[in-house]
Structure 1
Amino acid sequence: MQLSTQWLAQLPLTGIQHVNAVSGGDINAAFAIQTTTQRYFLKVQPHRGAAFFTHEVDGFNRLGAVVTTPKVLASGTINGDGYLLLNWLDMGVGSQYDLGQAVARVHQQHAPQFGLDHDFLVGKIPKYNHWQSNWATFYVEQRLDVLVKLAQRQGYWSPDREQAYHRLRQAILSDSYMQMVQPSLLHGDLWSGNVGFTADGTPLLIDPDVFYGDRAMDLAMTTIFGGFDSDFYRGYADRYPLAPGMRERLPRYQLYYLLAHLNLFGESYGPAVDRLLKTA
């Protein structure tokens, strides 16, 4: 995506000198903007309007109250394109122990119920967040069922998967552990690409997809693709010890993320989904 001079002139910035495309994931176009005084990070969602970034802004506001995140400077619509302007943060290295402590601080932010005050339906994976008092109901109906139905529509489902999922679904709904879960603020997409450290070593969280749920969901995501070592989990547990039974249920939450990848990237994730359907 190219940003015209006319497009850039509508940003709440002055003295723009350079604009360079940078890595910003597979969803948004991303740019580094250098003005006469400082540098900025810009995300653009072509033809989607400001609403696309409303959920992310809310996430930054919630996470930023307790940990370091990029600061939201502006968001809106320019020529039909949604944009999100953030301060630029130079990256460095830091302690996985400190990162674990930072994630634990996020999870220590609680709500009366599970969910969020808005849905996020404009992404590739819809998130139905209406409030629930029962965590098992929320997780099954507003997370797993949604992805199963999407997989059915895309031809990634089978009678064997349906049978295994029905068994697991009933087990989740009847699991007494699910009745004891306290709603925690979740990052929502806690893989290694969404964490890092500022130049001075401060832990940093980016690209949030927040809602209030079982903190084990975030921890499950950290176990799928790597990037988190034993110091991370030690730091986390020292600040917010794991609840009894939480570790054993991580595979049930790994299933959600692997179902999402099945829907996004296809049958290459099928064997991992089948394994979790049978063993979680």
Structure 2
Amino acid sequence: MSPALPGALNAALGGAWAVRPLHASGFCDTWRADGADGTRLFVKTAPGARAAMLRAEAQGLAAIAATRTVHTPEVLALVDLPGGGCLLAMRWLDLAPPDAGFGARLGAALAALHARPQPRYGWEADNFIGATPQANGWAGGDALDDWLGFWRERRLRPMRRRLARQGAAEALLGAVDAVCGALPAFFADGDMPRPSLIHGDLWSGNWGMLADGTPVIYDPAVSCADHEAELAMMELFGSPPAGFWPAYGARQRLRRGYARRRPLYQLYHLLNHALLFGGAYAQQALACARGALAG
């Protein structure tokens, strides 16, 4: 353990802290910190350039928390570490196994988040989807107010460029090009989405239930986007818990044609997985692109 961690926590929050490691990954390390007063923290640290990921995570958590719709971990400190890197300290969450009503509560909370009006597509800062930079457009003054243009130029084409530099197969790159060219067909009725604040990376590993039954979401990659993009991600690696869909649909309209657009939105995440992890994800992304084109 870095001797800087207890000192950094003391400087930011006061008190004495006992810190022990939880998990290390290629992206960040995680820690449990116990204070002398009984306070428990979940702490992430990241070195060098990776520190930007934690800063973006803290900003995303704060944005979701500000809506007062769905619970997120409370950010208590964001601290630059000596020698570079960053520390993100959050209040510890005691999670419980989801009960029978969890899906309905999650659906209602997420619908409330998505129903909040947002000014435009994108976000006030660029951030990350996993470890991949995610361009959102507001900060550089080049926001795209056309949803098709946003999804093409801020989501699909940046992934395609990164995959091309990595040497991805021409079949996959060509399929992404074809999807980009066919975007109007996914919105043939002209019913364009209004911007909604979305978590952005909401697979089953990024939601849970507190001991009192409250749904909680974490590790966001926020942007203002089509709320269907959130739902598509929830269906990519599993499915939402039982009871989710009726509760969500009672509060937030599902537009006609969602099933047609679902692979369009899932493609972004599969391209990212192909970029980060390779292997079978490239073939899965190709199949998704072809399925989206086939309708």
- Could you say what secondary structure the match of 2:158 adopts? helix
Of 119-128 and 201-210, more deviation after overlay is shown by 119-128
Q: 1:86 aligns with which of 90, 110, 114?
A: 90
Q: 1:113 to 1:17 in 2, by over 3 A?
A: closer
Q: Please report how far the alpha carbon of residue 10 of structure 1 lies from its aligned counterpart in structure 2 after TM superposition.
A: 2.4
Determine if the alignment matches structure 1 residue 96 to structure 2 residue 103: yes
Determine if the alignment matches structure 1 residue 132 to structure 2 residue 133: no
Cα separation, 1, equivalents of 2:154 and 2:217: 25
Where in structure 2 are the equivalents of 1:241-252 lying within 5 Å?
241-252=253-264
Q: 1:26 to 1:204 in 2, by over 3 A?
A: farther
Where in structure 2 are the equivalents of 1:149-164 lying within 5 Å?
149-158=161-170, 160-164=171-175
The answer to whether the 8 Å contact 2:30/2:43 transfers is: yes
Structure 1 stretches of 4+ with a deviation exceeding 6 A read none
State the TM-score, normalized to the length of structure 1.
0.91
**Identity level (%):** 32
Identify the residue that residue 33 of structure 2 maps to in structure 1: 33
Identify the residue that residue 105 of structure 1 maps to in structure 2: 112
Where in structure 2 are the equivalents of 1:54-203 lying within 5 Å?
54-64=55-65, 65=67, 66-79=69-82, 80-94=84-98, 95-120=102-127, 124-130=131-137, 131-158=143-170, 160-173=171-184, 175-176=187-188, 180-203=192-215
Of 186-195 and 229-238, more deviation after overlay is shown by 229-238
Cα separation, 2, equivalents of 1:13 and 1:193: 29
The answer to whether the 8 Å contact 2:5/2:19 transfers is: no
Structure 2: which 5+ runs fail to align? 138-142
The answer to whether the 8 Å contact 1:91/1:197 transfers is: yes
Equivalences, count: 277
Structure 1: which 5+ runs fail to align? none
Q: Which amino acid aligns with 2:70?
A: V
- Could you say what secondary structure the match of 2:71 adopts? coil
Q: 2:251 aligns with which of 239, 243, 247?
A: 239
- Could you say what secondary structure the match of 1:9 adopts? helix
State the TM-score, normalized to the length of structure 2.
0.87
Q: Which amino acid aligns with 1:142?
A: R
Determine if the alignment matches structure 1 residue 253 to structure 2 residue 255: no
Q: 1:231 to 1:49 in 2, by over 3 A?
A: closer
Determine if the alignment matches structure 1 residue 208 to structure 2 residue 207: no
The answer to whether the 8 Å contact 1:29/1:45 transfers is: yes
Identify the residue that residue 19 of structure 2 maps to in structure 1: 19
The answer to whether the 8 Å contact 1:216/1:246 transfers is: yes
Cα separation, 1, equivalents of 2:183 and 2:96: 41
Cα separation, 1, equivalents of 2:250 and 2:272: 31
For residues 106-140 of structure 1, the C-alpha deviation after alignment (integer angstroms, 9 at most, x for no partner) is: 11122121001111269631211012110110001
The answer to whether the 8 Å contact 1:52/1:122 transfers is: no
Cα separation, 2, equivalents of 1:24 and 1:134: 40
Q: Please report how far the alpha carbon of residue 148 of structure 1 lies from its aligned counterpart in structure 2 after TM superposition.
A: 0.7
Of 207-216 and 55-64, more deviation after overlay is shown by 55-64
- Could you say what secondary structure the match of 1:126 adopts? strand
The answer to whether the 8 Å contact 1:258/1:272 transfers is: yes
